[in-house]
Amino acid sequence: MQRFLSRKAIGWTVVVGAAFAVLLSATMLGFLASDQSAAAKKMEVPTTQATSTLLLTDRNPLDGTPRETATSSRPVAVMVENHVDARPLSGISGASLVFEAPVEGGITRLLAVFDVQRDIAEIGPVRSARPYYLDWASELDAMYVHVGGSPDALAKIAATGIHDLNQFFADKYFWRSTARNAPHNVYTSTALLEKALVARDWNTSASFSSWNFVDADPSAAATSTSEIRIPFSTLSYAVRWRWDPVGGRYLRFVGGAAASDRDGKRQIAANVVVISAETAVLDDVGRLRLGSLGSGDGTLFRDGFAEAIQWKKKTAGARLQFFSKQTKEEVFFRPGTTWVEVVPEEVEITTDALAK
């Protein structure tokens, strides 16, 4: 009886052992499948990001936001002054792209680029042309909107054949506000500018290369930054950009005060690019020569991070490009308004890191 029980126990041991082996094999296969699945998911991340980048190419080429219509109109690039007597400005919060650069006397002036399919009821005050702003308007194949200009700028307009809308010869597309003193009182709107495009048969899609817009995490080459300070000249023209992590945007301050349009809309940016350029005084008035062509150093601020970049622009018609100094690749932008701050080489930019 004892021998019989021993054999039965052995039999059960074999059965249980075999069952355990089968169970162990199935478990191991499960773990392997799980690991392979996890690895596959990890491998899918770059592919997903690349696909996201491709999807964002079917956007408004000016700012990467969703198209409001199936086709894009020619952009309009408006010279807007930033003199203290012109503030608050109008329409800047509705621009897709803004270039800010110094003119004479330490004053800065804006080239605000708009999509005329968006209704901006008041833009201004509109002021006179300067030569280097023409290079930025030309790269967008935009209609350049201004009130007169410096002798060099007007000569350049005549020589280049840019799509030009000078208030001196097209007054019906502008108006003068009785609430402001001249010369800070000339305004326009996207509705009037669209009429000007149609009247001149310029209301076709412009030909220009879009920057790279993507919904993605900040570059690994970037460092956290909460505030950017740009002392263009006096305190009245000192610019600050403060990162708003809740809204996911940069808030603009000028002369120590929050920058808002006349209608109260806050001036914000999804991306801020600060680039340095050579400058020299040309005449007794203080007009400047600014190196808008060539290359130089800069910093891209996006998502609360800063990344060292190099800018390049070969010709007036070539698009201004920005390359990461670490990766040597062209940088990516968030969809939304981009401000390009063009700063003389001698101006020192300071920043604050994000609080931990």
Residue 168's CATH number:
3.50.90.10
Are residues 155 and 67 part of one domain?
yes
Among the candidates 17, 36, 55, a domain finishes at 55
Residue 138 and residue 308: Cα distance in Å, rounded? 26
Let me know whether 162 and 272 are in one domain. Answer: yes
Structure tokens at 231: 């002392």
Tell whether 84 and 16 lie within a shared domain: no
pLDDT tens column, 105-133: 899 999 999 999 999 999 999 999 999 99
Q: For the beta carbon of residue 11, count every other beta carbon within 10 angstroms.
A: 10
pLDDT at 216: 65
Per-residue pLDDT, 351? 93
Q: Give me the domain span that covers residue 325.
A: 61-356
pLDDT in tens, 180-233: 999 999 999 999 999 999 999 998 888 899 999 988 655 556 678 899 999 999
Three-class secondary structure of residue 354 per DSSP? coil
Instruction: Name the one residue in this structure whose structure tokens are 């001036």.
Output: 267
Same domain, 26 and 65: no
Q: What is the DSSP letter of 91?
A: S
Nearest-10 crossing angle of helices 131-138, 151-160: 30
CA-nearest of 136, 118, 117 to 78 is: 136
On whether the CB atoms of residues 202 and 164 are closer than 8 A, the answer is no
Least Cα distance to 82 among 115, 105, 63 occurs for 105
DSSP 3-state of 181: coil
How many structural domains comprise the chain?
2
CB distance 114 to 165 below 8 Å: no
Q: Are residues 149 and 26 in the same domain?
A: no
pLDDT classification of 308: cutoffs 50, 70, 90: very high
**In whole angstroms, what is the distance from residue 211 CA to residue 298 CA?**
16
Task: Write out the DSSP string of 110-142.
Answer: EEEEE-TTS--S-BB-B--B-HHHHHHHHTTTP
CA 223, 237, 106, 267 torsion: positive or negative?
Answer: positive
Token pair in block for residue 142: 């935009």
Residues 44 and 95 in one domain: no
Q: How many of the other CB atoms lie within 10 Å of CB of 162?
A: 21
Please indicate, yes or no, whether residues 83 and 5 belong to a single structural domain of this protein.
no
Say whether both 317 and 169 belong to one domain.
yes
Taking the C-alpha atoms of residue 349 and residue 241, their distance in angstroms, rounded to an integer, is: 11
According to the model, what pLDDT value does residue 224 have? Answer: 85
Co-location of 32 and 142 in the same domain: no
Q: Residue 75 is which amino acid?
A: P
Cβ proximity of 158 and 166 under 8 Å: no
Same-domain status, 155 and 27: no
| Average of per-residue pLDDT values in the chain | 84
Bigger pLDDT: 24 or 165? 165
- Kindly give, in sequence order, each residue whose CB lies less than 8 Å from that of residue 331, ignoring residues fewer than 6 positions away: 212, 219, 300, 307, 309, 322, 323, 324
**CA dist list (Å): 268 to 94, 221, 332, 345:** 10, 24, 18, 25
State which of 29, 55, 81 marks the end of a domain.
55
Domain shared by 202 and 337, yes or no: yes
Residue 82: strand pairing partners: none
What is the pLDDT at residue 219?
58
Classified as helix, coil or strand, 286 is coil
231 and 317 belong to one structural domain: yes
**Does 51 score more than 80 pLDDT?**
no
Q: Picking from 67-76, 130-139, 251-260, 266-275, which range would have the lowest pLDDT averaged per residue?
A: 67-76
